Every structure is written in structure tokens, then in C-alpha cells.
Chain A
Amino acid sequence: MSLESAATTAAPVARPNAPPKMQGDKVGVFYGEKQALFDVDLKIEQFNVTSLIGPSGCGKSTFLRSLNRMNDTIDGCRVVGKITLDKDDIYDPSIDVVELRARVGMVFQKPNPFPKSIYENVAYGPKIHGIARNKADLDEIVHSSLRRAGLWNEVKDRLNEPGTGLSGGQQQRLCIARAIATKPEVLLMDEPCSALDPIATAVIEELIDELRENFTIVIVTHSMQQAARVSQKTAFFHLGKLIEEGKTEDIFTNPRNKQTQDYITGRIG
């Protein structure tokens, strides 16, 4: 598939000496008394796609959700260690979670458009953050976001129809358009294709590869093929611990760790 080759042959764009966009330092997450994540050290490079893989319950989604503090919404959830965004500690009391989430956007596993019009869906973020100065500005943001999410041609004539009336794949692209409309710096994707058919999945994967030019992307996926196709860096989690991380081709062709090898060859998980 051209898609696959395009992704895997593309050299990582990261400037070798650029500081990481986000960095986790001994990150641990507790749900009540139970620790779900242990001492994760992970660098997220700018303008790269970092994929988090591992069996169910390994803590990869937990780690992803701690990157924009979505874990805060869960009662009894506690994060220890340090996560930085451009060297700022995002758990510092001076950080406003609203601003953080405007800078670190998120796309969820199940497409979750608002039960409002397609236009309203995309325009909501820019509206609440005051990104658009006037209606023309807002129109421009909505149109360009839909275009970049590859949805424009399919919805340009029905922007006022409900977003919930779209197909699953279209809904997920609408959610991506909604996420990028607030112009985040980092985009978190939590298994964005798990509810989609292979064709819609291929479209989204292509989209992720294009979005990499402007956004730093972290994606959680259950599909190792997908991780291999879209990401430049891969991190393997198991039982709440980060087992191995590195360049995607290294992880998949030459894993250093026995557990990683077992997982990618299908022996555990």
C-alpha cells in the first residue's frame, strides 16, 4: 500500500537537537489506591507521531490522558511525577487546565461530535477561546479545519446539518477538525480508528501523516500495523510500565526487549 510505504519511508522530521515538545518524568498515575502507571519517562518529539502500544489495561491511555489532564475529571485519580509542555510543568498550580487543553487537543476513541450542526461543532472551540475576531474569521477557521481534516468536500453543502448524521469515519474526521480548529500544538488521539472500518481507517491514517507537518501527535493504538504505518516513534507499555521506546522501525524490526518482541510477534497481549 502506498500509504504504508509513504509513512514508513518518510524520515523523521524532528530536528535532532530540538528539545522535546512534551516530556514525562517519572510519571505515575493512581486511581484511588491502585497504581495504574509506574515511573514513565517519555519524550514526545515535536512534529512527530508518537504511538503508544501495548495490551489492554497497560496504561497507555492513562498516560495519554494525563498529557492534557483529562484524568482530572476522574474522581480519585492522582498523577505523580512531572509532565512538561515546552518546559512548563502542566500540573503546576499556576497552569490553567483550560489553556492546557486548548494547547493539547484530543480526539477520542469513539467519535463524539456534539449534537449540533457540523459548523457549530468546529466553530465551538475557536468561539470559546476567542480565536476568531469576527464571523468571517470564524468561517475561515471552520472551512480550513474541515479542509485539513479531509472532510470539506463531503460536507461543504451541508454545514448546517447535524454532525451526528455523518458516517462513523466522517464523524471522527469532524472530531479531528474540531480538535485542530483551536490550533493546538499537540494532538492526542486515543485509538481514533478502533470504531471505524478499514477504508475510513486508511483515510484517517493518511490524515495523521499530513497533520504531522503542523502538529505534534501522540496516538494510542491497538493495531501494530497502524503504529508502524503512521508513527516515527513508538513506545511499548506493559502492566503500567514503559517497557521500551524508540524509533518505530527499530521497535518493530529490532526490539531490544524480550517482552516487546513477544508482543509485536503476537505472543503476549
Chain B
Amino acid sequence: MTDAALPHAAVDTAAPAKRDFGLKRRHAAEFRFRLYGIVAIVIGLGFLAILLVSIVSKGYTAFVQTSITVPVEFSASIIDKDNERATNPRVLVSANYPIVARNAVAKALGVSIDDKAAMRDIAKFVSDGSRSTLREIVLADPSVIGTTRNVTLLAAADIDSANKGQIDLTVPQDKRKVSDQQVAWLDQLKQQGAISTPFNWGLLTFGASSRPETAGLGVALVGSLYMMAIVLLCALPIGVAASIYLEEFAKKNRFTDFIEVNINNLAAVPSIVYGLLGLAVFINFFGMPRSAPIVGGLVLTLMTLPTIIIATRAALRAVPPSIRSAALGIGASRMQMVFDHVLPLATPGILTGTIIGLARALGETAPLLLIGMVAFVADRPTSPLDPATALPVQIYMWANEAERAFVERTQGAVLVLLIFLALMNIAAILLRRRFERRW
């Protein structure tokens, strides 16, 4: 009651009563929200870091390969004992080069070539891939027969692993793949300076092989390259044309709504279903070759189309309508409006969507398994019709191998794939910047 009796003047001059805006509560809520965000980002980055560290630490050794450089005697008595190479060049192809390589290593180690047990160990010391190394040298220049020259041979995968310190030597000899004798030879050759670890170009050039040291991504890289080219050539024009038609020309009615819904549905279809479709349509119905990048490329095109169409339509829709009115208002036809004004403005968005679609296609495995691209292909394909594999499929196949050397190669292949994906994403960013900066 006394409050109400206060004169008005007193109320006016007094400082206004402090009102409760709930500021403390609101600030606390905001602080908590920010904290959640930071925690989420830290967790995300943490997992990414763990992933990268694990891949890089397991995979970087795949990029070097233990090699043995020894003087090799191209003995005529082994390569061409009947001296018939002038009349029958086939002997140079089918000669017993592994013996040549073993003898060379035995000589460097001071082991008698008559010691059968030691020679068996040496046979497991040098890669069988030395066969093709030596054969290529001889076929390129047959005059090398009868002479001796220094040749760098690949070490066998187990020796490579031992040299990289990946084999636990404390384990009893009969329970590991490398004998004490072989380890001693490795040290001996190291002291002679015969062991080197050059960059493993073979990882990027060799085809499939059951020997890890001669297995590479060559076929997979070429296969993936062909498929990306096919996806780009097919999906971009079809996707952009479809989007332009739907967005700029088609009347909005039930039918276009139906198409729109279905495009969005297609984008969510599991990729393995596209693989089945490719198997049924391209291989069984059209009779295209199995395991071929052309089929893989077409399947991935189908899979990428919805992504490109959705991205392109979003990019077209983002072009302000005033630009369209301006063009139509001075009498441009719809096509002139689209190609002179709308499309240039939508290009950055279209390119970004396309590259992201391509990147997804590059990493896609499941549909390729169904069309037979999971295959043992040793020779690089010369056209998209030849059998090939793809990067992710090669990773899948290597991951199933037992040898220690395939573990590092699997991780190395993952690194190669990640590098390609990163390059594509960087390309997307650069292209977007380049086109956006025009005005």
C-alpha cells in the first residue's frame, strides 16, 4: 500500500527497477551450444587424424622397394645353351632367367651354386619378377649375352619386409618367413652396398601379380582413368541437358513433378543396384565385354547422373530470376537466355557438382564387383574394352591377401586413391573460384 502511495515524481527520478531479461541463462545456453560445436569438431578432426595417421604410417613403406644391385653374368650356357637364338628367337623369351639371377646373387654372397639348400634360400631371396627384368634387358639387346653387367633386381617380398623392419626377428626361425641365413645375407649385401630402397614406381605401373613386389596399381589406375573419362563424357552433357530442360523449359505439371521425385530417389539408390542394372542391361542384353571399363564407366554414369542433375538444377535455380527477365525483356529467345546468361552464371555450381559426382564414382566399388571388374588383370588395358580393374576394387582385392607386403600395399593404394580424391576436390574449388571471380 505504501508503494502505491508514492508520489509520481519520485518514481520518475528513481533509477528504473532492474528487469530480468534472463541474460545469464541465455549466455549460458549460448556458451554450452558453442562448446558442443567445438567438441563435435574436435571429435571429427580427431577421427580424421587417426585415419590418416594409420593409413600413412602403414602405407608409406609401400612407396619404396628393396632392390639388390649385383653384377649379373648373362651366361650363354644358361640363356641359350644350344646357340640357336639366330634361328629361333623364342629361346630368349623362354630362357631360364631366374637361374641367372640366383647365380648372380649367389656369386655376390660367395655361396657355391652347387649348394642346393643355400640355392633354395636364395631362390626365395630374389623376386621371381627378376625374370622379366632380365628378359627385357636381353630382348632389348641380345649382344649382352656372354657379358656381365650390373643389374638392379627386386628383392622378394619377405626380404623387403625384413629390410623395412616389419618382420619380428625374435620369433623362432621356423615360425617366420625369413630364415636367419637370409637375414645374414641381407646384412652382408647391405655392407657391400648392394641393397638400395628406391621409389617404388612398380606400385604405380605394375599390373596384378600374386607376388607383392611385382603387384601394382597400373591396371587399376588406367581402368579408373578410362571410367572417369567415360563418366565425364556421358554424365555431364546428359545431366546438364536434362537439368536445363527440366528447370528452364519444361512446364511444371504432375509429370515433371514425378520426374523430379524420381531423380531424387535415384540419387539415394544403393550403388550395388546400379551394378545389377549394368550386369543385366549392358552385359547380358547389349553383350558388352565383362570386366571392361566401358561397362564400369556406363554404370558409374547412371549412378552419377542424379548427383549431377540435382547439383545443376540447384545451380540454375540460384541464378536470380531478374537475369532471366532482363534477357527475355529485350527479346532473347529462351535458348539465348539460357546459354548466354543463365548457364554462364550456373557454371561454377555445375562444375562443383560434377567433380563431386566424379569423386564419388572414383571411390565406388560395389557396382564394379558385379560387372566383373574384380579380376586378376596383369596387362594394362589399351582401350576401354579390355579387361581392367579400378582403384577401390584393387584395394578390396589386396586387402584380402595374406602376405605382410600386401598390407602395406593396400594402405599405399588407399593413399593413392585419397590423393586423387583430394586433387579432384582441389580442382573443384579452383574452378569455382576461377569462374566466380569473373565479375
Residues of A within 8 A of B (CB): 68, 70, 73, 75, 98-102, 105-108, 110, 112-116, 124-125, 128-129, 162, 164-165, 175, 178-179, 181-182
What's the count of A-B pairs with C-beta under 8 Å? Answer: 71
- Starting from the known contacts A98-B331, A125-B331, A182-B331, 17 additional A-B residue pairs (CB-CB under 8 Å) come to A68-B329, A98-B332, A98-B333, A106-B329, A108-B322, A110-B322, A112-B326, A113-B326, A114-B327, A115-B323, A124-B332, A128-B333, A162-B439, A165-B439, A179-B329, A179-B330, A182-B330
Closest 9 CB pairs of A and B: A112-B322, A102-B331, A101-B331, A106-B329, A125-B330, A112-B326, A162-B439, A115-B439, A98-B331
Mask, B314-348, CB within 8 Å of A = 1, is 00000010111111111111001000110001000
Partner of B326, one of A100, A175, A182: A175
Query: In the assembly, what is the distance between CA of A61 and CA of B322, in Å?
Result: 15
* Given known A-B contacts A115-B345, A115-B439, A128 and B325 have beta carbons under 8 A apart: no
B252 within 8 A of A: yes
Query: In the assembly, what is the distance between CA of A115 and CA of B325, in Å?
Result: 14
Partner of A124, one of B324, B330, B438, B439: B330
Query: In the assembly, what is the distance between CA of A125 and CA of B320, in Å?
Result: 19
Would you mind naming 21 contact pairs between A and B with Cβ atoms under 8 Å apart? A68-B329, A75-B251, A98-B333, A101-B329, A105-B331, A106-B330, A107-B329, A108-B322, A108-B329, A112-B320, A112-B323, A114-B326, A114-B327, A115-B345, A115-B438, A116-B439, A128-B332, A165-B439, A178-B330, A179-B330, A182-B330
* Given known A-B contacts A124-B340, A162-B439, A114 and B323 have beta carbons under 8 A apart: yes
A70→B326 contact, CB < 8 A = no
CB distance from B358 to the nearest CB of A (A): 27
* Given known A-B contacts A75-B252, A124-B340, A162-B439, A112 and B325 have beta carbons under 8 A apart: yes
Residues of B within 8 A of A (CB): 251-252, 320, 322-333, 336, 340-341, 345, 438-439
B439→A105 contact, CB < 8 A = no
B326→A101 contact, CB < 8 A = no
Q: Which residues of A contact B326 (CB under 8 A)?
A: 108, 112-114, 175, 178
Q: Which residues of B contact A124 (CB under 8 A)?
A: 327, 330, 332, 340
Q: Which residues of B contact A116 (CB under 8 A)?
A: 439
Query: In the assembly, what is the distance between CA of A182 and CA of B329, in Å?
Result: 11
Query: In the assembly, what is the distance between CA of A190 and CA of B66, in Å?
Result: 78
Partner of A128, one of B320, B322, B323, B331: B331
Label chain A's interface by main secondary structure: helix
Partner of B336, one of A128, A162, A178: A128
Query: In the assembly, what is the distance between CA of A108 and CA of B327, in Å?
Result: 11
Q: Which residues of A contact B251 (CB under 8 A)?
A: 75
CB nearest to B345 among chain A residues:
A115
Query: In the assembly, what is the distance between CA of A108 and CA of B331, in Å?
Result: 14
CB distance from B326 to the nearest CB of A (A): 4
B340→A129 contact, CB < 8 A = no
Query: In the assembly, what is the distance between CA of A197 and CA of B72, in Å?
Result: 90
CB nearest to A69 among chain B residues:
B328
CB distance from B125 to the nearest CB of A (A): 68
Q: Which residues of A contact B322 (CB under 8 A)?
A: 108, 110, 112
